[in-house]
Amino acid sequence: MKTLKISFLIAMMLGMAAWLQAQTSVGPFTFYPTNQGGTMQGQAQINGVPAVEGDIVAAFDPTDDCVGAAELTIYGGLAYINFVIYGDDGDGHGMSPGEDFHIKLYDASSATIINYGTGFSGWQNNNFAPMPGFNDPGVVYNFISASLSVLPGSRAVSSAAGSTTFAITSNTTWAVTDNASWLAVSPTSGSNNATITATYLANTGSINRIATIAITGVGISSPVLVTVNQAAPKYLYVSPDERNVASGSGNTTFTLTSNTSWSVSDNVSRLAVNPASGSNNANLTATFTGNTSNNIRSARIIAVGSGAPNDTVWVHQYPVIRTLTVGSQNPNSGVPISVSPADTSGTASGTTQFVRKYFNNQTS
């Protein structure tokens, strides 16, 4: 009978040892209970407000392995901490003497884990009794929920290659990604406050482009998004390169193609261009007076763009054109004929019927 009792006791002890070594989960935290440990006591707050039912506190060793966790005890509107931080009994799980530990709080209402701001020293195997320095239920541990903000929300940059910066304000660890092959961000990870630099290539395309940078943070439910808006190179073109117009007063048009602001001027008082300024694409109208001279006269129009090369076009206005028509008595068989001076096209001979055009008063 005595042997049976001893065997039963041994079985119970082995069963308890197996239970202690079994992996245990409390909420999102998993740890291994051991036969060593010390109890931590205190109160838990989140941003200065007592935690609530369902919130869980946990302890972690220097390698960030969980070494104990338990739900908070809610009493009288306060949230009490009272849980075992397990020690290493030789199986590789738990705290060792002299090691620091840190604590985390699972906020059940937001399903987020909040890191306590500082670590602790002084853990000891106290046979599961409250540990000196952690045995006061009145001590408050205030957990500050994770925060992450990035300024500015966007940066506008020129088409040239370069870099720009964003300021991260945070109390948590974060990581950075982007969606553009023409842009790289450094550093790509960090913690707390920092400045990140976005370096970008030159934009050689014809349109503006946008890169989105996403900053994710531990304990932050949604990433913070910022953008880099890079302008296309500035351009300005006027077509056609020249217009030939008759001697009488009138107008002619040019097409201005641009992605910037611009102004237009000319070099003569007898011609005016409208509009004289604008931005992006436009139609230009050049209005001119009659040419009463005996010569072709030309006017230069210059378009000046902001950040873009200038472009120049011309209006060439002919003088009055006179027409010489030479016929023969037998128009069915043309008679070779020559005239002097050559006409406006440089031709001085032909076969009747013979038509030649001359600038007014052209003599040679």
Question: 148-230 has which fold?
Answer: Immunoglobulin-like (2.60.40)
Mean pLDDT within 15-31 = 74
Q: Among 347, 343, 290, which residue's Cα sits nearest to residue 320?
A: 290
Ramachandran area for residue 363 (φ above 0: left; ψ -120 to 50: alpha; else beta): alpha
Q: Do domains 148-230 and 236-317 have the same CATH topology?
A: yes
Strands 37-46 and 140-143: parallel
- Decide if 88 contacts 94 (C-beta within 8 A): yes
Identify the DSSP state of 329. Answer: S
Rounded to an integer, what distance in angstroms lies between the CA atom of residue 243 and that of residue 298?
Answer: 10
Give the model confidence (pLDDT) of 342-357 as tens digits: 777 777 777 777 777 7
Q: How far is CA 158 from the centre of its chain?
A: 14
Residue 347's pLDDT is 79
Give the model confidence (pLDDT) of 275-332 as tens digits: 999 999 999 999 999 998 888 999 999 999 998 999 999 999 999 777 777 777 766 6
Question: Using omega within 30 degrees of 0 as the cis cutoff, is the peptide bond preceding 353 cis?
Answer: yes
Give the model confidence (pLDDT) of 69-115 as tens digits: 999 999 999 999 999 999 998 888 999 999 999 999 999 998 889 99
Rounded to an integer, what distance in angstroms lies between the CA atom of residue 225 and that of residue 230?
Answer: 16
Tell me the domain boundaries of the chain: 2-143, 148-230, 236-317, 321-359
Q: Which CATH architecture has domain 236-317?
A: Sandwich (2.60)
Residue 361's pLDDT is 64
Q: Which residues contact 327 (CB under 8 A, 6 or more apart)?
A: 352, 353, 354
Q: SS3 breakdown of the chain: % helix, strand, coil, rounded to 5?
A: 5, 50, 45
Residue 15's pLDDT is 42
Supply the pTM of this predicted model. Answer: 0.58
